[in-house]
Structure 1
C-alpha cells in the first residue's frame, strides 16, 4: 500500500514547482464513485490528500523563498458545479444563488461575482476549506442534493513580485493552480443509453460527458487528426471554466482512480480509456510574466473604445454596449484593488460567514465532532463521507429548531416548518424532543407526534432529509440492543449491522435511513418477504441442479470404470477413480459457490434498490403535495428487460422496483428509479424557486416542461420476445409467433418472426483453431473433426437471416408507434425495426380489437462460427425488445368501449398457450387379387358423422392403418407424438338408418372436467373480489388508493362475469375449448372436435403421477355405446419411418359378431371404435388414449353394374376418415390468479401483509408469479 505522501511526491511536487515558475497548473481526479477521488484530493484526518498537502507545501516554500526582493501574495476561490449551476462556497450568500459564467475576450472564461479571498498562511486556507465544506453541506442537505454528483473546484492564485532594489523596477509572475474533484463517472456509463433505458434530459452528467468529448477532440488534434476539429468547451460549465487547463496555457495532471471490484469492470475500462486519451493531449504552457499590467492596459483601452461606441449609439439605445462597459469597468476595479483592501475584504466576508453559521446554530470549530466530552450536541449525517459529521450544533437548555430566523438551529428545505420542534435539557440531564404540529420528526426511524425522551446515539430525522445523531454523554443507554430489536423489528442483517455499530459510538447515514424506511413500511420489510421466497425457490433449484450434476458425474465415473481393463483397474483404477471423483466434486463445489455468490449480490442489489425507491418516492410525493401538483408516486415491482431474456444469468433476482406515476384526470405512467432520480433534480430546483417566490415560475415551468409528469411520455417497453436459434444447426426455416413477455411476467402479444440459415454450415463436432495464428483469429474459423478424430476441413463464416413480420395481440393502450430493437450476437449496435405505416391499416384508436402491427424488417448477419457462437445458438436466444407509445389522450382509454372484444381476444390468447389440436386418421386395407394390401374405399353419406363408410368385403383378411399428427397453427402447446404403442378395436354396434341417429367420436367427459375446473377458479376469484370490494365499501373514509383499487376491482368483477359466460357458452371461433365448430372439415374428417384434458402442472407442464397404462390420459374418455362389445388388441405389423403411423392386422372373426360376419342390410349401419394408445414426449413423457368411431358396410361382391357406375362416376374417391382432438394441458395460469399482475405488483411493493383467500400474502403471490418467467422460456424452447 502506497500512502498519500507517495502520490504527492509523484504528482504534487512537480505541479507546485511549475506554479512557482509562473505556469498555470491543474490537477483533476476522474473515476467512479467510491474509487478514491475525494480521498486522493482531500484525504482524511490521518492521511491528508493532495489539496491540503499542496497548500501546506506552498506556504512552506513561500516562507523559505520570501525576502525583500521577492514577495508572494496568495488568493483562493472555492466553488461547486451542480446541475450546470455554479455556487460560491466562500460567500455566505453563495450557497443560495447561482453565479453566471461569462467569457471576456481579454480574460477568457470566468465566474462573475466569485469570491477571491486573500490568505497569508496554511491555517487560513484550512479554515476557508472547512467553512466552504460546511456551506456545501448545508446547501446539499437543504436541497437534498447528492454531493457525489457535484464537482468541486478549488483555485489558488499565486502572485510573485520581484523587486530590483538598485533600479527600483518590479515585475510580476501570476500562476493559477486549479484543483478539481469531479463527480462519480459511473453515472455516464450507466445512464442506460444502451437498450431499454434511454437518457433523460438531465444536466447531471452533462459536464462529464462534455469533458469526454473535449478530451477526445483534443487527443485527435494532438494526433494530427482533424486539426480544425471543433472542441465543444462551451457545452458545459465545467469544461468552459477549465478551457485553459484542457489544451491551453496550463500544466495539467489527471488522476485516474479505479475500483478493484470485478463488477466495476466496465467503469474501470472506461476510466482507463479516458486516461489514455487525456495523456495524448499536448498543452502549450507559458510563464505568466507581468500579466496584470498588460490586462489592465487592454481593459482600459477597451473601456475607452466602448465609451466612444456608446456615445455614438446613445440615440439607438444599445443596452448590450452598456452591459459590456459595466462588465469591463467592474473587472478593472477588481484588478486594481490593493492587497491591503483584499485582506480587509476577506476578513469581512469571513466574519459575515461565521455570523451566518452561528445564526444557524452551527459550531465554528473546524475539527468536526471532536468537541468536549461533556457537551450535548447534534452532528449531521450525510451519504457523502466528505460531508458526513461536518456540522456540529450545540444544544442549550431550551433549543428551538425550524426554518424561521428566530430559531436557535435553522434548517431549510423540504418538510421543514418555520417552527419545527423543541429540545429541552432538564436539570437531571434528561433530554426531551417535542415536535410541533404537522412537523415531521422521526427518532430512530419512528415518527413521533408527542414529547419523546432522547438517549445518546439516537438518530433524528427532521423534514424529508435532515438526518442527525445526538451526542448525550450522560444519557448513554446500556441495554440498547434489546430496545432496538423491539423498536425496529429489523432483520438479522440489520441487527448484525447494528451490533457492528455498537462497537463504535456512532451510527452512519445508511443505518439511519434504513431505520426510517423500515418504520415507514410499518415494520414489515417487503424485501424480507421477497428474500425468503427467493431463497426458498433458489434452494430448491440448487438441490435439483446438484442432483443432476451428481448423476452426470456418476455416469462419467461408471464409463471410466468400464474403459479400464481388469488388470489396470486393479493396479491404477482406484487412484484414477478417486482423483476423478475429487475433480468432479471440486467442479460441483465451484459451480455452487459461483451461483451462491451471484444470488447474494442480486439480493443485496434488490434490497438497495427498494430502499432507494422508497426514499425517492417519499420526497417526490412531498414536493408534489407542497406545490399542489395533484400527482402521486408509488413503488411498484417489475421485471427488468434483461431478465426477460433467455440469456440472463441463472440465480439472478428476477424483479426490480419501479415508480408508478398517477395524476388526477390523466393516465398512469411507469418510471425507472433512474428517471425519477433525474426528475427529482428539476423538482428540487423548481421547489426552491417556488419557495423563494420567483415571479416567473410559471414561465420557467413552461420552458422546461413539468418534471412531475410527462405530458408527452417516451416509449414504453411492451415486452421481450425470445427467438431460440437451434434451427441454425439443422438448416431449417423457423417461422413462429414468439410470445412477448411483459415486465409483469405475462404474455403481452406475439411477434411473428422468421429465422433461417442462408449460407455456410454449422459443424456438429468442433475444436478451436490455433489461437496464436493470425489467420485463425481473423477468420474465427474452426477445425471440424470426423469420427476418427481427423481434421477434414475448416468451417468458414455463417450467414443467417432474421425477418420480423408482424406483432399481434399487443396491449391496446401501448399500440401506438410500435417498434422492435435487438442486438444480434456480437454486433456493437442495436438494430431497430420500424413498423410499416399504411394509411389503410386501422390505427390502434379504431374499434378493431384485433389490431396488428406489420413490419418489413429483413436483415442478414455474417458471423464467425466459434465455440462461443455455437454455445449461444444451442443455449441462448435472440432477445427482441418490443416498444410502444401510449395511445393519444390522457384520460380513460378509447379501448374501454370495446373492452369486451379485447377481453375475448385475451381469453383466446390464454387458451392458445395450453391447447393444440391433433388428428387421427384411420384407413382399412384388404388383400387384393395381386396379393397386396390396398386401402378400401370410403363412401360419403349425409346421415353418417364419422367421415364416411368403409366398404368391406365379406370374409377377407384386413389390416388397420392408424396415423397421428399434430395440426399446424392450432395452438402453441409443445405437443410431440413419438410413437403408436397399441391399437385395439371393439364396441361393435348396428344402427338403423331410419329409426336411430348416427354415432360419431364426440364425447364431453373431459370438456366437462375443464369447465368445472375453470368454473371453480372463477368462483374462487369472484368470492375474493366480493370480499375486497365489500372491505373497501365499508370504509368510512376512502383514500385515493382505495378509490382507484375499488374501480380496478369492479372492472375485474365485470370481466369475470363475461368470462363465466364464456365457460358454458363460448362464442364460435373464440378459441375456447368446447366452442362450436365454425370450420369446413376436409373430406373424411368429423365436424365435431372432442376435448382431451391432460391435467398437467401449470408451472412446468409436469405430471403429478406417471400417466401410463391404466393411468394414461384419455383412458376414461368413453364414447357412447363403447361397452357394447369387448375390445381386442391388434398385433402391430409395422411402423412408418416418415410419420407416426402403425399398421395392425385385424381378423374380424375374433369379435364373433353377426354384424361383421354377414352382409350389411340396406337400412343398417355398422359402427366400431378404434382405440389407439400413443406415446408423447412433450409436453410431458406420458401415454394418451385416442378413440375414433368408424362406420362399415359389409358386402359380398360388387355387381358389374355397380363396378361400372363407380368407374364412370366423377366423384372423388376417399380411403381414410379422421377425427380432430383438442388437447388441453391445463387451465391457463392467468385464470387461476386472483388479481391481475399489475395490481399484485403494487400491493406487493406497498407490503400489504394481509393474506389472500388461500393464505398467501400479496408479495408471495407476486414473487411466485414472476418466477414463472423461466418456465415460460423453457416451454418456448420446446415449442420452437
Structure 2
C-alpha cells in the first residue's frame, strides 16, 4: 500500500458530529465529555504589500503612485494627479524603499526609522497568526493575489536568504512541536503540494502524471477534496524543504512539457497538523492552506479587439470565478440578498469553499507594483482586496474523539451497501462513496509510526539523489534550466558526462526532455577532452547565444542555449572554468532580448529611446518589453500550428514602427501579430490582446491532442481560423503646403509599410482650379497665403495609378483599395477596388471647394499632409471590400466637398459622362 497517497481536500471539515473546546472538560478517561464549540465569526484579514521597482520599471523611469500611512494605502492616477483613491486594510506593508542588503544578502530595514517591511515582519504578522490558529485547532488559509511580477511568490516562498511565509511557517511549526513535547501527546504533520492549470489538478509530489489531472470530488464529511493527492508525513522542516524543491522540479518539468506558464497557474500547499491527546482519546486537527494564485493582469476585452471567439478560457476561469465568489460573499455580508455563490464553477473555488465564507480563518495578501505604468492593474488589485475583506467566515475548532469518525464511516458504509441491493446500475455513486470511505478508514487505521517509516524510506532516496547531484556538479558541466518564473529557474540540472549524450523526447536518450518542438532525437552533446560540443539532429532547433546552429558547435561557460520552441538553458562549464559568476543576470528576459537582437530587433529599432529631456521614453520601452514577452509565445504558436497541421505561420510586427500622422509626428507604436496561411497566402493582423486570447485556446486544443483526445472542431470554434479581412499595407504622405500658394502638386511617392519598406508607388495630382474646373496657371499663384483669407478656393485630388504593388505580386486572388481623409472630414473616402493588376489604374477624382478660407484651413494646408492609405483585399470580390462612395456604378464619378465656413461640411455628388 502507498501510504503517501490518500483522498485529500484543500480545507478540511474534520467531521466528528460534535466538537470540543481547546481545553476539554473530561468526566473520565473512558468516556470524555464533549462540549460543543461555537463558531467564531471573523472577517477575511487583508494585507497589502508594495514591492520595489522592477528592472523594467526602472528602465522606464517609472514614478511611484503608491503611498501608505498606518493601515491606509493611497494610489494616485498618473494621468490625473489630483485623482487619488485611498483604501483601508488590516495591514499595509511598505517594502518599496528604505532597505539595504546585509552580508547574507538578506534585505533588511535601512536604519531604525526605516518603514521597510522585511520578510520577518510579514511572517510575524501573518504567518505567526496562522500558526496560532492551527495550534488552537482552527483551519487557516493564506491567499496571495496580484498581477504577475507583483511580488506574490516573493512573499509566499521568497528568494535565497529572503525566505517567505511558507518556509518560515513550516520551520516555526516544527520548532514549536520540539518545544511542546509531552508524554501523552502525539503530533502529526503531513504535507501536500498541487498546481491548478487550465482547470486540471497536478500533484507536485507525484512523479507520475495522470492524464486529465486528478479529480475533485465531494462528500458529506470532507466537502470538496482532491482524490488521490499524495500526503507525505513529515517529522522535520528539512523534509518539507526538500519536498518544496521536489515540487518545484515537477512544476518546472510540467510547465515545459505542457507548455504552461507558471504565472497562469495556482499553487496550493497544504499542511495537515494533528494534535492527538492519547490519554483523553481526543484529536485536534488543523489544515493550513497556503495559496499562490495565478497572475491577475487585466487584458483588453476580446470583444473590443474584434475577436469573434470567447474570452476567459479555462486558463482564466478560476480567477474569474474567484472574483465572482468574493463579490457575491461581500454583497451577502453587507446584507444584500444573494441567491447563489458560484463555488462549483471552477476547481479553485471548489477547493477554497471553506476558506471563503466557511470553516477557516483566512488572510489575503494583495501584492502590488508601485509604478505608474501598472496603475490600472494595481487599482484593480486594491478593489479586489477591498471586496474580499468584507467576507465573513465561520471558523470552528476541529476536535473530537479519535475513534468516533471511524465508527461513523463504517456505519455510513453499511447504510450505502444496504441501499445498493435495490438500485442496480444506478448505484454506482453509492458504490463510489463506499470505496472512498473504506480508503479513509484504512488510512486512519494505519499507525502513524508506519506512515513515518514509509516516508523515511522515500526521504532517504531523495537525500541520496541530492548527494549524487552535488557530487556530479563538481565533476561535469551541465545545463541549468531558465524559466519565465524566477522561482522555477535553476531548478533542473542535466549533466553532460564524458562521451556523447543524446537529448530528446525519446526515453532512450541520456537526457530526456519534453516540450514544444523537442524531437524524439533532437541533439547530441559531446564531452571530449575537457571540451563540450552540441550538434542538432535533422530539423532539431538549437539556438546558441541567440543564433540558430546547424553544425557541431563548441560551447563556452555561460553560453545560452534554446532547444525546440522555447526550452531555455544556461550552459555551466567544467568546474575549472567557473568563477564567482552572477548567474542572476541570465534571466528569461536576457535570453529573449539576445534572441531578438540576433534577429535584428532591439530597443533602438523602435526609435529614440530617450525623450527631449534625456529621460527614457516609457512608451518605447513598453513596446520593447511587449515584443520580447511575446517572442516565446509566437514560437510556441508556430510549433503548435505545425504539429496540429494548421498551416499557419505567426510573425511579430511593430504596428506604426515607421508611420507618422498628417503632421509628421510618430504614431503610437504597439505590438501586433501577423498571421499567414501558408497554403492560401491569406493574411491576418491580430492585436496583442487577441493573440494572447487565441494562444490560450490553442493550448487547450494542443493539450487535448497530447492527451489523445478528439481535436476536431467546427470552423467557427477553431482558434486557428478567422474569416478573411482587409489588411493595411502602407501609407504615403502628400504635403499640402503648395496648395496654400495655389500651386499644383504632381507626385510619384512611395507607399511605405509599418517598417518603412516600399509597398507600391502612388501617382497622384492635386490641382487648384476655378469654378469651371480650369486648372490654375502661374498667374494664379499667390505670394502670401494670407491673400486667400476670406476667398473661395477649389482644388481637385486625382489618384491616377499605383505601380509595382507588392501585395498583388505575391498572390493572384488579391486586390487593393485606397483610402484617405482630408481636413476634418470624419468619413474616409475610398476608391473602387481593383483586382489582380500589379500596376492598377485607379483614376479616382475628388474636388474640394472652400467658400470662405479661414486661418484654420490655411494652417492645415501649410503644416499637414494628405495621408493616403493602401489597403489589401483578399479572397473574392464578395469578401473584404471597403465601402466606397459611388452613386452610379456605371458612370465615372467624382465628388464635391463644400467647406462652407471651415466648420460645416456639405458633400455634393456630380457626374460627368
Whether TM exceeds 0.5 here: the answer is: yes
Q: Tell whether the 8 Å contact from 1:631 to 1:663 is kept in structure 2 after alignment.
A: yes
Which residue in the other structure is 2:553 paired with?
452
Number of residue pairs aligned between Structure 1 and Structure 2: 708
Structure 1 residue 87 corresponds to structure 2 residue 202: yes
Alpha-carbon distance, 1:371 to partner:
8.1
With the length of structure 1 as denominator, give the TM-score of the two structures. 0.50
> How far apart are 1:423 and its partner, in Å?
1.7
What is the rounded CA distance, in whole Å, between the counterparts of 2:652 and 2:574 in structure 1? 40
Pairwise mapping of residues 326-365 of structure 1 onto structure 2 (< 5 A)?
326-347=435-456
Partner Cα separation in structure 2 for residue 1183 and residue 412 of structure 1: 62
Separation in structure 1 between the aligned mates of residue 584 and residue 436 of structure 2, nearest angstrom: 54
Contact 1:457 1:505 in 2 (8 A): no
Please say if 1:424 is aligned against 2:526. yes
Q: Does 1:190 align with 2:303?
A: no
**1:225 maps onto 2:324 in alignment:** no
User: How far did residue 1058 of structure 1 move?
Assistant: 5.0
CA distance in structure 2 between the partners assigned to 1:51 and 1:190 by the alignment:
30
Relative to structure 1, the CA distance from residue 976 to residue 306 in structure 2 (aligned partners, 3 Å threshold; closer, same or farther) is: farther
Tell me which residue corresponds to 2:408: 298
- Shift in CA distance, 195/127, structure 1 to aligned 2, threshold 3 Å: same
Tell me if structure 2 keeps the 8 A contact 1:89–1:95.
no
Query: Cα gap change, 1:293/1:276 in structure 2, threshold over 3 Å: closer, same or farther?
Result: farther
Structure 2 counterpart of 1:467: 568
Q: What is the CA distance between 1:418 and its match in structure 2?
A: 1.9
Residues 1176 and 1183, structure 1, Cα contact 8 Å, conserved in 2: no
1:627-1026 alignment runs, 5 A limit? 627-638=644-655, 653-660=668-675, 662=677, 664=679, 668-692=683-707, 694=708, 696-698=709-711, 701=713, 705-710=717-722, 978-979=789-790, 1018=802, 1021-1022=803-804
Structure 1 equivalent of residue 639 of structure 2: 622
Contact 1:744 1:1238 in 2 (8 A): no
Matched, 1:402 2:415: no
Partners of 1:477 and 1:1044 lie apart in 2 by: 55
Which residue in 1 is equivalent to 2:841?
A: 1059
Matched, 1:319 2:395: no
Structure scoring higher RCO (CA < 8 A, sep ≥ 6) equals 2
Deviation at 1:919, TM superposition (A): 5.1
Q: 1:603-618, aligned counterparts within 5 Å? A: 603-618=620-635
Matched, 1:240 2:350: yes
Q: Does 1:171 align with 2:300?
A: no
1:132 aligns with 2:241: no
Counterpart of 1:531 (choices 607, 610, 627) is 607
User: Contact 1:455/1:477 (CA < 8 Å) preserved in 2?
Assistant: no
Q: 1:287 to 1:530 in 2, by over 3 A?
A: closer
Which has the larger displacement, 283-292 or 146-155? 283-292
Counterparts of 2:463 and 2:694, CA distance in 1: 34
**Structure 1 residues without counterparts, runs of 5 or longer:** 479-500, 540-591, 720-741, 748-906, 922-944, 946-973, 983-1001, 1030-1042, 1063-1069, 1074-1090, 1095-1138, 1141-1174, 1185-1224, 1240-1274
Q: CA deviation at 1:644?
A: 12
Counterpart of 1:514 in structure 2 is 593
1:638-657: CA deviation from partner (whole Å, max 9, x where unpaired): 469xx9999x9x97733432
Aligned to 1:816: none
Aligned-partner Cα distance in 2 for 1:1276–1:616: 49
How far apart are the structure 2 equivalents of 1:1277 and 1:98? 65
Deviations 1:416-453 (A, max 9, x none): 122222222222x1211122222111111211112111
Please tell me whether the aligned partners of residues 976 and 1178 of structure 1 are also in contact (alpha carbons under 8 angstroms).
Answer: no
Shift of 1:518: 3.6
Distance in 2, Cα, partners of 1:59 & 1:474? 37
CA distance in 2, matches of 1:1049, 1:645: 22
Aligned in 2, Cα 1:220/1:979: closer, same or farther, shift over 3 Å? closer
1:37 correspondence with 2:138: no
The corresponding residue for 1:1035 is none
Pairwise CA distance, 1:254: 1.1
- Following the alignment from structure 1 to structure 2, what is the Cα–Cα distance between the partners of residues 321 and 703? 41
Structure 2 distance, partners of 1:702, 1:293, is 56
User: Is the 8 Å Cα contact of residues 644 and 743 (structure 1) preserved in structure 2?
Assistant: no
The secondary structure found in structure 1 opposite 2:790 is strand
Q: Does 1:392 align with 2:493?
A: yes
Is the aligned partner of 1:104 residue 2:219? yes
Report deviation, 1:142. Answer: 1.9
Quote the offset at 1:1177 in angstroms. Answer: 3.7
CA distance in 2, matches of 1:128, 1:704: 45
Report if aligned partners of 1:222, 1:280 keep a CA contact under 8 Å in 2. yes
Q: Tell me, yes or no, if the aligned pair for 1:631 and 1:661 is still in contact at 8 Å.
A: yes
Counterpart position of 1:288? 398
Q: Deviations over 1:505-540 (max 9, x none)?
A: 862221122223343x3xx228644426xx7xx98x
Alignment CA distance shift 1:980-1:662 (3 Å): closer
Q: TM-score, normalised by structure 2?
A: 0.68
Match of 1:9 in 2: 124
Take 1:410 and 1:421, find their aligned partners in 2: how far apart are those partners? 11
**1-structure distance, mates of 2:427, 2:583:** 66
State the 1:289 CA deviation: 0.7
Q: Give the one of 172, 175, 186 matched to 1:60.
A: 175
The alpha-carbon deviation at position 77 of structure 1 amounts to: 0.6
How much does 1:312 deviate? 1.0
Q: Conserved in 2, the CA contact under 8 Å of 1:609 and 1:657?
A: no
- Output the CA distance in 1 between the equivalents of 2:144 and 2:396: 24
Deviation at 1:88, TM superposition (A): 0.3
Q: Which position in structure 2 is the counterpart of 1:1221?
A: none
> Is this contact kept in 2: 1:207–1:239, CA < 8 A?
yes
1:10, 1:1183 → 2: CA distance?
67
Taking the aligned partners of 2:859 and 2:366, their CA distance within structure 1 comes to 59
SS state of the match for residue 420, structure 2? helix
User: Partners of 2:860 and 2:120 in 1: how far apart?
Assistant: 74
Distance of 2:168 and 2:902 partners within structure 1: 63
Where does residue 270 of structure 1 map in the other structure? 380
Deviation of residue 210 (structure 1)?
A: 1.6
User: Deviation digits for residues 378-433 of structure 1, max 9, x if unmatched?
Assistant: 21111111001111222211222221222221101211122222222222x12111
1:70 touches 1:163 (CA, 8 Å); kept in 2? Answer: yes
Contact kept? 2:732, 2:867, Cα under 8 Å: no
Task: Render the CA deviation track for 1:1088-1140: whole Å, top value 9, x for unaligned.
Answer: xxx99x9xxxxxxxxxxxxxxxxxxxxxxxxxxxxxxxxxxxxxxxxxxxx96
Q: 1:629 offset after TM fit, Å?
A: 2.1
Q: Evaluate the alpha carbon distance shift between residue 1183 and residue 235 of structure 1 in structure 2; reply closer, same or farther with a 3 A threshold.
A: closer
Distance 2:468 2:270 in 1: 23
Equivalent positions of 1:525-604 (< 5 A) are: 525=601, 528-531=604-607, 593=613, 600-604=617-621
Secondary structure at 2:699's aligned position in 1?
A: helix
Give the distance between the partners of 1:1183 and 1:671, measured in 2 at CA: 35
Q: Rg larger in 1 or in 2?
A: 1
Using a 3 Å threshold, how does the CA distance of structure 1 residues 703 and 197 change in structure 2: closer, same or farther?
A: closer
Flag the 1:93–1:745 CA change in 2: closer, same or farther, 3 A: farther
Give, in angstroms, the shift of residue 110 of structure 1.
0.1
Equivalent position SS for 1:114 = coil
Q: CA deviation at 1:375?
A: 4.0
Contact kept, 8 Å, 2:119 with 2:162, in 1: the verdict is yes
Distance change (3 Å), C-alpha of 1:354 and 1:625: farther
1:184 to partner: Cα distance: 1.6
Counterparts of 1:1276 and 1:1056 in 2: how far apart (Å)? 39
Displacement of 1:127: 0.6
Q: What secondary structure sits across from 2:344 in the alignment?
A: helix
Aligned counterparts of 1:205 and 1:440: Cα–Cα separation in 2: 31
